[in-house]
């Protein structure tokens, strides 16, 4: 999967979509491939398709906090405030402390992203609840 991550970083989205779709065809229970394909689709503003990919990743792994977070962002873009709140609340339930998120993202050498995601989820949740 490393070449596909590189294609995303290089913004080679059609190639990345094809790679993740192929990975899903090979292993339809590969939650990470659904999640990553959702990220690509989100970048391409294909929000409905991204939503479906994140939902499938969550069906495969109900504890997939990052998939809930990204799905919450997509739901917000699609004007589904209630769904966005539910997903962001789920992130905070799965990861009540930053330790697990840091651990997950730390394995990917991205501690700053872990902090940013948790802060954004908490901030967005507060904003949505106050509206």
pLDDT at 88: 83
Q: What percent of the chain has pLDDT over 90?
A: 46
Q: Residue 101 above 60 pLDDT?
A: no
Task: Judge whether 125 and 89 are in contact, CB under 8 Å.
Answer: yes
From residue 15, give the alpha-carbon distance in Å to each of 53, 67, 81: 17, 22, 32
How does residue 2 score in pLDDT terms, banded at 50, 70 and 90? very low
Question: Three-state DSSP class for 72?
Answer: helix
Flag whether the pTM goes above 0.85. Answer: no
Q: How would CATH label the architecture of 2-130?
A: Alpha Horseshoe (1.25)
For range 19-36, the mean pLDDT: 95
Q: Shortest CA distance to 65 belongs to which of 39, 35, 45? A: 35
Boundaries of every domain in the chain: 2-130
pLDDT at 26: 96
For range 19-43, the mean pLDDT: 95
Question: Three-state DSSP class for 27?
Answer: coil
From residue 33, give the alpha-carbon distance in Å to each of 3, 85, 125, 129: 13, 25, 27, 31
pLDDT at 74: 95
pLDDT per position as a tens digit, 49-89: 999 999 999 999 999 988 998 999 899 899 998 898 888 88
From CA 124, how far away is CA 37, in angstroms rounded? Answer: 23
User: What are the DSSP calls for 47-67, one per residue?
Assistant: HHHHHHHHHHHHHH-TT-HHH
Q: Residue 48 above 90 pLDDT?
A: yes
């Amino acid at each position: 999967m490393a070449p596909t991550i590189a294609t995303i970083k290089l913004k080679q989205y059609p190639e990345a979509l094809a790679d993740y779709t192929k990975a899903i065809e090979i292993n339809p229970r590969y939650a990470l491939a659904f999640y990553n394909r959702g990220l690509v689709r989100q970048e391409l503003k294909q929000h409905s398709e991204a939503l479906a990919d994140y939902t499938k990743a969550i069906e495969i792994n109900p504890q997939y906090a990052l998939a809930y977070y990204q799905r919450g962002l997509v739901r917000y873009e699609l004007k589904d405030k209630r769904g966005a709140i539910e997903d962001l609340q789920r992130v905070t339930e799965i990861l009540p402390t930053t330790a697990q998120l840091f651990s997950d993202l730390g394995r990917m050498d991205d501690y700053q992203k872990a902090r940013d995601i948790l802060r954004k989820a908490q901030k967005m949740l507060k904003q949505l609840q106050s509206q």
